[in-house]
């Protein structure tokens, strides 16, 4: 009886425990399901946020491309008074700074997603550093600081690295140095040895306390900046800088003393690229290039960008054709072979990558340069095509665009100082030494000049230049058009008109 009673009690206890365990398992399953749903909801929200940030970046860069592009054009316009030139430089620097802020916004999203990517591309490091100096020297001088820069003589003209990431690293370090320095000096030095560049940024600012040095690279850590003379910022600059430096295979170090100053040093592998320089000569204006005229097709769904490329390339003596979509481009070049293509990646309908494949399948062998506001992002990675020759980021840097065109088209630039001293006055004085086109063509050119229709004049001159006997006439007329000297252009044509008895 005792054994029987004990077995019954044990079975009842076992059944009770099993019931409790089953209830606990069911509760855990419910909890796991709730956690999984919460995780999926959070990941979906994060993906939505990332898509929003990327979309916002693209929408911001589209108008910024026009702002920065036209600012560069105005900087080269010699007719603008000197006092206004400084304002134009401020516009350009501000646009550059805004572009950097957009890059930082995107990087925060990528860091969270764990998918920060780098691209190795060719950089004109000399021109690149000049742009950095032009950006920060005025900021330092505006605060009453001395800005010093030294550059190794052995630094090559061209190197390979991720230009966008390198720019972010240097911009973060220099902006911090100027921000936290109230008086004294900010120095930026570059040395180069055995394919390794060392960038050193030194300031005489407030410095970093020893207790804060160990955590300056942690996100949202701003040290004493939070309490002593607070400065704008989120505390992510050095976090991103260290991450980018490590991603590029480099190293970053810091030396600092409270109330004395700080020195940040970044070492990166920048392999030199040995090729002839196609860099634009400083302080010189391009007016043309040696050899026959080249035709460039610009494909972009944004009208402002197409107009900008027209304004940039036409004065350099290129024939510029535009298309607003892939199908329009294919129809445009059906019976011709352009010399180069500038194609936007993100277009509705047929994307830039799809257009590249169609062009190559159609036998087009001309160089193709891809343009995008999100170069280095998913627009490039995993695109599945290698038909293009190069990439350029928006906002487009005009010097870089000219440099890439020179590389891919084998151009030798002709500068205003290279032109022979045949000049406008001589052209006006001796119209009889050049054969004029038919009077009807002459009247068309005069009428176009009277309304100031530069593109119409250029198109008319292009059609006339197809006849060898008109080459001398069209080349002289183009000199006036390039200089926007419409008064001289009118005098030049009127001399021929009077000679033919129409005056």
**Average pLDDT of 201-224?**
77
Q: Which pLDDT belongs to residue 366? A: 92
Asked if pLDDT for residue 430 goes beyond 50, the answer is no
Query: pLDDT tens for residues 133-175?
Result: 988 888 898 889 999 999 998 899 889 988 888 988 998 899 8
pTM over 0.85: no
pLDDT more than 70, % of the chain: 80
Q: For residue 184, what is the DSSP state?
A: S
**Average pLDDT of 310-325?**
88
Q: Are 136 and 147 in contact (CB under 8 A)?
A: yes
Task: Give the residue, 309 or 11, on which the prediction is more confident.
Answer: 309
Alpha carbon separation from 28 to 20, 31, 34, 418 (Å, rounded): 12, 5, 10, 82
Instruction: Please tell me the least confidently modeled range out of 214-228, 397-411, 475-489.
Output: 214-228
Query: Residue 366, by phi and psi: left (phi above 0), alpha (psi -120 to 50) or beta?
Result: beta
Q: Which pLDDT belongs to residue 379? A: 44
Most confident of 103-107, 188-192, 259-263, 397-401: 188-192
Query: pLDDT tens for residues 96-124?
Result: 777 767 766 666 666 656 666 677 778 88
**Average pLDDT of 337-351?**
90
Nearest to residue 289, comparing CAs of 323, 332, 329, 340?
A: 340
Q: Which pLDDT belongs to residue 298? A: 93
Q: Which pLDDT belongs to residue 299? A: 93
Q: pLDDT category, 433, cuts 50, 70, 90? A: low
Q: Are 198 and 224 in contact (CB under 8 A)?
A: no
Q: What is the mean pLDDT of the chain?
A: 80
Nearest to residue 98, comparing CAs of 61, 137, 51?
A: 61
Q: pLDDT category, 233, cuts 50, 70, 90? A: very low
Q: Which pLDDT belongs to residue 422? A: 41
Q: Which pLDDT belongs to residue 192? A: 94
Tokens of 439: 């009077």
Instruction: Please tell me the least confidently modeled range out of 10-19, 135-144, 261-270, 343-352.
Output: 10-19
Asked if pLDDT for residue 2 goes beyond 80, the answer is no
Q: Which pLDDT belongs to residue 279? A: 59
- Give, to the nearest 10 degrees, the angle between helix 2-75 and helix 82-113: 160
Q: Which pLDDT belongs to residue 412? A: 86
Burial letters 182-211, b for 16+ CB under 10 A, else e: eeebbbbbbebeeeebebbbbbbbbbbeee
Radius of gyration of the chain (CA): 31
pLDDT more than 90, % of the chain: 17
Task: Give the residue, 235 or 421, on which the prediction is more confident.
Answer: 235
Task: Give the residue, 497 or 377, on which the prediction is more confident.
Answer: 497
Q: Which pLDDT belongs to residue 71? A: 81
Spatial distance between the Cα atoms of 284 and 121, rounded to a whole number of angstroms: 26
CATH numbers and ranges of domains, the chain: 17-116 (1.10.287.130), 118-272 (3.30.565.10), 286-395 (3.40.50.2300), 420-499 (no CATH)
Give the DSSP letter string of 285-302. -EEEESSS--EEEEE-S-
Q: pLDDT category, 450, cuts 50, 70, 90? A: confident
Asked if pLDDT for residue 282 goes beyond 70, the answer is no
Asked if pLDDT for residue 12 goes beyond 60, the answer is yes
Spatial distance between the Cα atoms of 109 and 111, rounded to a whole number of angstroms: 6
Query: pLDDT tens for residues 26-53?
Result: 888 888 888 888 878 876 776 666 666 6
Q: Which pLDDT belongs to residue 300? A: 92
Query: pLDDT tens for residues 51-99?
Result: 666 666 667 777 777 787 888 888 777 777 777 777 787 787 777 777 7
Give the DSSP letter string of 120-181. -EEEEHHHHHHHHHHHHHHHHHHTT-EEEEEE-TT--SEEEE-HHHHHHHHHHHHHHHHHT-
Task: Give the residue, 215 or 230, on which the prediction is more confident.
Answer: 215
Helix (DSSP H) and strand (DSSP E) numbers for the chain: 15, 15
Asked if pLDDT for residue 432 goes beyond 50, the answer is no
Q: Dihedral angle at the C-alpha atoms of 308, 309, 312, 314, nearest 10 degrees?
A: -120
Asked if pLDDT for residue 221 goes beyond 60, the answer is no
Q: Which pLDDT belongs to residue 220? A: 52
Asked if pLDDT for residue 424 goes beyond 50, the answer is no
At residue 97, what are phi and psi to the nearest 5 degrees?
Answer: -65, -40
Q: Where are the alpha helices (DSSP H) in 190-250?
A: 210-213, 237-247
**Average pLDDT of 290-301?**
89
């Amino acid at each position: 009886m005792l054994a029987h009673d004990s077995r019954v009690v044990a079975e009842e206890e076992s059944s009770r425990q099993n019931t409790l365990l089953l209830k606990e398992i069911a509760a855990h399953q419910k909890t796991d399901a709730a956690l999984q749903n919460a995780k999926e909801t959070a990941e979906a929200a994060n993906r939505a946020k990332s898509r929003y940030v990327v979309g916002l970046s693209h929408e911001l860069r589209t108008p910024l491309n026009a702002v920065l592009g036209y600012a560069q054009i105005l900087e080269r316009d010699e007719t603008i008074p000197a006092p206004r030139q400084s304002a134009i430089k401020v516009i350009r620097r501000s646009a550059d700074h805004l572009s950097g802020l957009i890059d930082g916004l995107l990087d925060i999203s990528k860091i969270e997603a764990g998918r920060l990517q780098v691209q190795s591309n060719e950089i004109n490091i000399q021109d690149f550093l000049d742009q950095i100096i032009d950006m920060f020297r005025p900021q330092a001088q505006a605060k009453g600081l001395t800005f010093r820069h030294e550059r190794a003589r052995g630094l090559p003209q061209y190197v390979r690295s991720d230009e966008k990431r390198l720019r972010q690293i240097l911009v973060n370090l220099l902006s911090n140095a100027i921000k936290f320095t109230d008086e004294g000096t900010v120095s930026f030095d570059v040395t180069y040895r055995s394919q390794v560049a060392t960038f050193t940024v030194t300031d005489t600012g407030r410095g970093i306390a020893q207790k804060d040095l160990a955590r300056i690279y942690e996100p949202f850590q701003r040290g004493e900046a939070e309490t002593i003379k607070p400065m704008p910022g989120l505390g992510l600059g050095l976090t991103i800088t260290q991450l980018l430096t490590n991603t590029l295979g480099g190293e970053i170090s810091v030396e600092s003393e409270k109330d004395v100053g700080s020195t940040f040093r970044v070492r990166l592998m920048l392999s030199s690229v040995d090729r002839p320089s196609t860099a634009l000569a400083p302080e010189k204006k391009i007016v043309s290039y040696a050899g026959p005229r080249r035709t460039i097709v610009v494909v972009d769904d944004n009208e402002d960008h197409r107009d900008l490329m027209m304004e940039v390339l036409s004065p350099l003596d290129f024939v510029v054709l535009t298309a607003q979509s892939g199908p329009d481009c294919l129809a445009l070049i059906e019976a011709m072979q352009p010399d180069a293509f500038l194609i936007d990646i993100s277009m509705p309908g047929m994307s830039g990558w799809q257009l590249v494949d169609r062009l190559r399948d159609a036998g087009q062998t001309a160089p193709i340069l891809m343009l995008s506001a999100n170069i280095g992002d998913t627009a490039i990675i995993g695109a599945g095509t290698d038909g293009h020759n190069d990439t350029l980021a928006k906002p487009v840097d005009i010097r870089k665009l000219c440099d890439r065109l020179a590389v891919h088209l084998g151009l030798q630039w002709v500068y205003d100082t290279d032109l022979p001293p045949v000049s406008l006055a001589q052209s006006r004085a001796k119209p009889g030494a050049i054969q004029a086109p038919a009077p009807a063509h002459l009247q068309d050119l005069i009428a176009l000049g009277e309304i100031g229709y530069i593109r119409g004049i250029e198109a008319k001159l292009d059609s006339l230049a197809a006849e060898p006997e008109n080459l001398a006439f069209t080349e002289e007329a183009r000199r006036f058009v390039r200089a926007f000297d419409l008064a001289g252009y009118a005098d030049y044509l009127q001399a021929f008109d009077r000679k033919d008895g129409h005056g």
